[in-house]
Amino acid sequence: MNPTDLHATTDMSLIALVSGASVPVQLVMLLLVLVSLASWWYIFIKVYTLKRAEAEAEDFEDRFWAGGDLNKLYEGVTSSRHKPQGMASLFEAGFKEYARLRRQGGMEISDTMEGARRAMRATYNREMDELDAHLPFLASVGSVSPYIGLLGTVWGIMNAFLGLANTAQATLAQVAPGIAEALIATAIGLFAAIPAVIAYNRFASSVDRLSVRYESFIEEFTNILQRKV
């Protein structure tokens, strides 16, 4: 058989290679495609969530450090139709607990400050849980997908060579389609892993920066309340 006849009889297109792969390899490919789609969905969600959190932090810091009355700022935060988010929620929790303890009376200043700090710290933990959501999934996709793809590749190559067991004269043309369809699994695994790794690193850095800003605000706001007392 000359090369022209081989090209005419062997369809090496991507669709043909995927459809001609063995069932286990096809299942691996399907799993990787679903994982990739899910990771892209979470990536879009995190882009929106983190941009919103950064914008809200900027807006609230501008209002907080403008030097206005804290009571009016609190009323403005709590009167909104939407639940306070991010730094505004830290302020709302701390000032609410501070005002409640002050109304009770008979408490040491240190106890009042500690109560306000605990309230802000609890809210901080909830905010960080929301910001960290879906990041473990992206990390898992980035670390596991290449190995899942490699599993499909190994299985496909094994079947390709086993198919030559009863062949008297094995040629590269006979094994090439099987190897090619097997390597597609690794390619899909990398396609799923690379965006997930890049997104995870980017998002983790953004979350760390927001965490530092939140913690700095807790300390600064605590000092302001202590001076106010």
Digit-coded pLDDT (tens) for 26-85: 888 899 999 999 999 999 999 999 999 999 999 999 988 887 788 888 888 888 777 888
This prediction has a pTM of 0.80
What is the enclosing helix (H) or strand (E) of 134? none
Q: Note the pLDDT of residue 169.
A: 63
- CA separation for the pair 120, 221 (Å, rounded): 10
Location of structure tokens 């094995």 = 170
Angle (CA) 130 132 134, round 5°: 95
- CA separation for the pair 87, 168 (Å, rounded): 73
What is the enclosing helix (H) or strand (E) of 166? none
Looking at the chain, which runs of residues are DSSP E strands? none
Could you tell me the two tokens for 146?
A: 């290449």
- Cβ contact 109:226 at 8 Å: yes
- CA separation for the pair 177, 21 (Å, rounded): 9
The helix/strand/coil state of 69 is: coil
- CA separation for the pair 117, 26 (Å, rounded): 54
Q: Note the pLDDT of residue 103.
A: 84
Which residues of the chain fall short of a pLDDT of 70? Answer: 1-14, 16-17, 20, 163-175, 177, 229
Q: Which of left, alpha, beta for 106 (phi over 0: left; psi -120 to 50: alpha)?
A: left
